[in-house]
Copies of this chain bind each other. A is one copy, B any other.
């Protein structure tokens, strides 16, 4: 016989065990968009302990809507191998340019990222950073719903060796540094120029403050590089690059 309260028990116990286990992680990623999930995937694959905090109920960030809600996205040659790695279908459009289904991309990346061992905490907002002696060493979390409801409720903290700001063009996490004068400015994303933007996204992926990486559009926003619309190769490669760099540092 199935008792209603058993369902409550198993859910509360499992979530809490997961949450307690994730209070201290190697890498805390903020934002389950394309660059954040890809970074998480490549880290977890190597055995790194990763938690992603996503403020929305669902993951995927800006992938779902494709361009103007026409739910297709574009990926260029350089990033094709990442689509292959995740097992996502695509169709060539012209030499070096591929089109994929936005729903498949978002769902498949998320599915594979979780299977790789990443813990995703959705509906959880990162409202601040933990910073000690000039180094980011964790994030401050709260329920998104509590924020949306305008309730005055204290947050909790997560301890991490590295934090990744994958929050897109608002660079919400890096804003906390700016607000406190720890960095000088966040110029914001530049005007549209897909080719340039794609290239710079990867270049701009870096540790902008001890312990804090930026990826994807957050990387471009922090550097004032161009935006690029519904093309995602740069996003994927940015995530992979951040993963690679952090892996090396963690090994030391």
Contacts and interface: CB of A to CB of B under 8 A. Distances in A.
Interface of A: 1-16, 18-20, 23-24, 56-62, 64-74, 76, 89, 91, 93-94, 96-97, 99, 101-104, 106-108, 110-111, 114-115, 120-123, 128-132, 138, 140-146, 148-149, 151-159, 168, 176, 179-180, 187-188, 190-196, 198, 224, 226-231
A231 B159 CA distance: 17
A209 B70 CA distance: 32
A89 B114 CA distance: 10
Given A4-B159, A65-B123, A130-B191, 16 more contacts: A5-B158, A7-B230, A9-B23, A12-B20, A12-B70, A15-B72, A57-B65, A58-B106, A65-B154, A67-B153, A71-B122, A108-B111, A123-B151, A128-B191, A128-B192, A157-B229
Contacts of A102: 122
A143 B110 contact: no
A121 B151 CA distance: 15
Given A192-B130, A193-B4, A229-B157, A111 B122 contact: no
Contacts of A143: 68-69, 143, 145-146
B146 A65 contact: yes
A156 B65 contact: no
15 contacts: A2-B96, A2-B194, A3-B195, A4-B193, A8-B229, A68-B156, A104-B111, A107-B110, A107-B114, A129-B191, A145-B148, A152-B168, A155-B192, A156-B230, A180-B224
A72 B10 contact: yes
Contacts of A99: 10-11, 14
Nearest to A160: B5
A155 B106 CA distance: 17
Given A12-B19, A65-B123, A89-B115, A157 B72 contact: no
Contact of A8 (B69, B156, B187): B156
Contacts of A191: 128-131, 140, 176, 180
A68 B107 contact: no
A5 B20 contact: no
A8 B157 contact: yes
A89 B112 CA distance: 12
Nearest to A114: B104
A129 B227 CA distance: 10
